[in-house]
Amino acid sequence: MSDEVNMLYLLGALVFGYLLGSIPFGVIFTRMAGLGDIRKVGSGNIGATNVLRTGRKGLAAATLLGDALKGTAAVLIAARWGEHAASVAALGAFLGHLFPVWLGFKGGKGVATFIGVLIGLNWIAALIFAAIWLGVAFASRYSSLSALVASAATPIALWLLGQPALAGMVVILAALLWWKHSANITRLLAGTEGKIGQKG
């Protein structure tokens, strides 16, 4: 395969991943349920955590699943074009969720999609992420802190699993996730971050 054709495949994987990742399931599901615009509820975020603030656990679960599976689907479909295409599609899907064109590039914080792309790229790393998230969440009751710690640990896990190139790409995803959680980090440091199960 020539370099030009390879670049076209990678560009296609990036665009495909982005478009799939930009599907705002939180917005779609809450509107379908007659709850209005989720961006006007709680934190204004389109992800499952904010959807849960509507009191509809089923909708929150559906949002979590949708946001995760769109990342997984992007990776698995693009993998038909090669390993590099799968990684590029993962990046595209994550960027799509964070900056969806349909919502003026104002999307979610990426935790569910982060997990989703990990499932497609390396399911063992996805399990490690989930285990760390659950452990930190159980100990601290902070969803944001759990995501921050688990995402930071994931590139290390991938490197230890013998996938340094993939670890490097996931560093980018983790850095973006941390950036999108900047307000949460500020509240964590100030001791004002809401805990899991806390309303408001």
Residue 7 lies in a domain: yes
How many independent structural domains does the chain possess?
Answer: 1
Residue range of the domain that includes 170: 3-190
196 part of a folded domain: no
What is the pLDDT averaged over residues 153-169? 96
Please write the tens of the pLDDT for every residue from 87-96. Answer: 999 999 999 9
* Residue 44 is assigned to a structural domain of this protein: yes
Residue 200 located in a structural domain: no
**99 located within any domain:** yes
Q: Is residue 195 part of a domain?
A: no
Residue 198 lies in a domain: no
- Please say if the pLDDT value at position 199 is more than 70: no
Which own/partner pairs from 175-182 qualify as long-range (CB within 8 Å, at least 24 positions apart)? 176/94, 176/95, 176/98, 176/110, 177/109, 177/110, 177/111, 177/114, 177/147, 177/148, 177/151, 178/148, 178/151, 178/152, 180/98, 180/108, 180/109, 180/110, 181/109, 181/144, 181/147, 181/148
Q: For residue 197, tell me if it sits in a domain.
A: no
Instruction: Please state the rounded mean pLDDT for residues 156-184.
Output: 96
pLDDT at 198: 67
User: pLDDT of 92-151, one tens digit each?
Assistant: 999 999 999 999 999 999 999 999 999 999 999 999 999 999 999 999 999 999 999 999
